[in-house]
Amino acid sequence: NAGVTQTPKFQVLKTGQSMTLQCAQDMNHEYMSWYRQDPGMGLRLIHYSVGAGITDQGEVPNGYNVSRSTTEDFPLRLLSAAPSQTSVYFCASSYSASQENQPQHFGDGTRLSIL
């Protein structure tokens, strides 16, 4: 049981390049989400999914796409990378879409730099 696995751990991109950040969980969790963490701003929700085939936007969705074709995987795509997307990205999952007392399990993060 690996929990939430994010790859890669580090990545450097040039402006305009595209990239997919991978996230996989092996806990059969219904809910998955992507956050970005920037200094002094905490975590901001990018996109989330309450089940396979269902995705929705969070606070800061612009410039990112997601899909949820399986329960296990929730990739995040940067369509045309911009320096403003330099950040640490976290994927999280929880058993229940309504969360409540179900904890969100976080991956270790992907540190992304856009030059």
Partner 1 sequence: GEDVEQSLFLSVREGDSSVINCTYTDSSSTYLYWYKQEPGAGLQLLTYIFSNMDMKQDQRLTVLLNKKDKHLSLRIADTQTGDSAIYFCAEKRGDYKLSFGAGTTVTVRA
Minimum distance from residue 88 beta carbon to partner 1 (Å)? 10
Question: What 8-state DSSP symbol labels residue 24?
Answer: E
Query: Which of 69, 70, 98, 113 is in the footprint of partner 1 by CB under 8 A?
Result: 98
Four-residue CA torsion sign, 97, 103, 108, 114: positive
Tokens found for residue 5:
């696995």
| Span of 20-28, 65-73, 79-87, 103-111 interacting with partner 1 by CB under 8 A | 103-111
DSSP-assigned beta bridge partners for residue 10: 111
CA–CA distance, 104 with 90 (Å, rounded to integer): 11
Q: Note whether 101 binds partner 1 by CB under 8 A.
A: yes
Binding mask 21-60 toward partner 1 (x if CB under 8 A, else -) reads ----------x---x----xxxxxx--x-x-------xx-
